[in-house]
Protein backbone atom coordinates (compact mmCIF):
# COMPACT_ATOMS: atom_id res chain seq x y z
CA UNK A 1 0.00 0.00 0.00
CA UNK A 2 2.86 2.43 0.80
CA UNK A 3 6.20 2.27 -0.99
CA UNK A 4 9.41 3.95 0.18
CA UNK A 5 11.88 5.64 -2.16
CA UNK A 6 15.47 4.97 -1.19
CA UNK A 7 18.73 6.55 -2.34
CA UNK A 8 21.92 4.60 -3.14
CA UNK A 9 22.69 4.43 0.60
CA UNK A 10 19.24 2.98 1.41
CA UNK A 11 18.02 6.17 3.08
CA UNK A 12 14.66 7.75 2.36
CA UNK A 13 14.91 10.29 -0.45
CA UNK A 14 13.83 13.92 -0.16
CA UNK A 15 10.55 13.05 -1.92
CA UNK A 16 9.62 10.35 0.58
CA UNK A 17 7.49 7.35 -0.27
CA UNK A 18 4.18 7.18 -2.09
CA UNK A 19 0.85 5.39 -1.89
CA UNK A 20 0.01 2.83 -4.55
CA UNK A 21 -2.87 4.88 -5.97
CA UNK A 22 -0.73 8.04 -6.13
CA UNK A 23 1.98 6.17 -8.01
CA UNK A 24 -0.30 4.55 -10.56
CA UNK A 25 -2.45 7.57 -11.29
CA UNK A 26 0.36 10.18 -11.28
CA UNK A 27 3.27 8.75 -13.25
CA UNK A 28 4.80 12.23 -13.56
CA UNK A 29 5.54 12.12 -9.82
CA UNK A 30 7.36 8.83 -10.26
CA UNK A 31 9.44 10.08 -13.17
CA UNK A 32 10.31 13.57 -11.94
CA UNK A 33 10.74 12.81 -8.24
CA UNK A 34 13.85 10.67 -8.20
CA UNK A 35 13.15 8.35 -11.11
CA UNK A 36 12.67 4.60 -11.11
CA UNK A 37 15.92 3.68 -9.31
CA UNK A 38 14.75 4.97 -5.94
CA UNK A 39 11.42 3.19 -6.37
CA UNK A 40 13.06 -0.13 -7.24
CA UNK A 41 15.35 0.18 -4.22
CA UNK A 42 12.27 0.82 -2.09
CA UNK A 43 10.52 -2.25 -3.53
CA UNK A 44 13.55 -4.38 -2.75
CA UNK A 45 13.49 -3.27 0.88
CA UNK A 46 9.93 -4.51 1.44
CA UNK A 47 9.09 -8.07 2.47
CA UNK A 48 7.25 -10.19 -0.08
CA UNK A 49 3.58 -10.63 0.69
CA UNK A 50 2.18 -14.06 -0.07
CA UNK A 51 -0.20 -15.25 -1.30
CA UNK A 52 -0.73 -12.55 -3.90
CA UNK A 53 -4.12 -10.97 -3.41
CA UNK A 54 -5.80 -7.80 -4.53
CA UNK A 55 -5.27 -5.21 -1.82
CA UNK A 56 -7.81 -2.64 -0.66
CA UNK A 57 -5.90 0.03 -2.59
CA UNK A 58 -6.89 -1.79 -5.77
CA UNK A 59 -10.30 -3.09 -4.78
CA UNK A 60 -11.64 0.07 -3.13
CA UNK A 61 -9.60 3.12 -4.08
CA UNK A 62 -8.16 2.82 -7.55
CA UNK A 63 -11.23 2.65 -9.79
CA UNK A 64 -13.98 4.03 -7.59
CA UNK A 65 -16.82 1.53 -7.30
CA UNK A 66 -15.24 -1.09 -9.60
CA UNK A 67 -12.24 -3.14 -8.56
CA UNK A 68 -9.33 -4.34 -10.72
CA UNK A 69 -10.29 -8.00 -10.37
CA UNK A 70 -13.70 -7.32 -11.90
CA UNK A 71 -12.15 -5.24 -14.68
CA UNK A 72 -9.66 -8.02 -15.50
CA UNK A 73 -12.41 -10.65 -15.68
CA UNK A 74 -14.36 -8.44 -18.05
CA UNK A 75 -11.23 -7.81 -20.17
CA UNK A 76 -10.83 -11.56 -20.53
CA UNK A 77 -14.43 -11.85 -21.70
CA UNK A 78 -14.01 -8.93 -24.10
CA UNK A 79 -10.97 -10.59 -25.69
CA UNK A 80 -12.60 -14.00 -25.91
CA UNK A 81 -10.45 -15.83 -23.38
CA UNK A 82 -11.94 -19.26 -22.77
CA UNK A 83 -13.34 -20.15 -19.35
CA UNK A 84 -11.36 -21.89 -16.61
CA UNK A 85 -12.78 -25.32 -17.52
CA UNK A 86 -11.29 -25.15 -21.02
CA UNK A 87 -7.88 -24.19 -19.61
CA UNK A 88 -8.06 -27.20 -17.30
CA UNK A 89 -8.76 -29.49 -20.26
CA UNK A 90 -5.88 -27.91 -22.17
CA UNK A 91 -3.59 -28.81 -19.24
CA UNK A 92 -4.88 -32.39 -19.14
CA UNK A 93 -6.89 -31.87 -15.95
CA UNK A 94 -10.37 -33.23 -15.28
CA UNK A 95 -13.55 -31.20 -15.32
CA UNK A 96 -14.36 -30.25 -11.72
CA UNK A 97 -17.77 -31.25 -10.42
CA UNK A 98 -17.42 -29.76 -6.92
CA UNK A 99 -15.36 -26.96 -5.39
CA UNK A 100 -13.01 -29.55 -3.87
CA UNK A 101 -12.23 -30.79 -7.40
CA UNK A 102 -10.85 -27.35 -8.28
CA UNK A 103 -8.10 -27.59 -5.65
CA UNK A 104 -5.13 -29.56 -6.93
In tens, the pLDDT along 29-43 reads 777 887 888 888 888
Residues 6+ apart with CB under 8 A from 39: 3, 5, 23, 30
Quote the pLDDT of residue 29: 76
Quote the pLDDT of residue 47: 80
Q: For residue range 44-92, what is the model confidence (pLDDT) as tens digits?
A: 888 876 666 666 766 666 666 677 777 888 888 888 888 888 888 898 9
pTM of the model: 0.47
- The residue with greater pLDDT, 52 or 98, is 98
Amino acid sequence: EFYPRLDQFNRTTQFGGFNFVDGTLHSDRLIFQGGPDSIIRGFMSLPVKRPQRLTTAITENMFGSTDLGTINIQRGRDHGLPPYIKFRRLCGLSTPRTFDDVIF
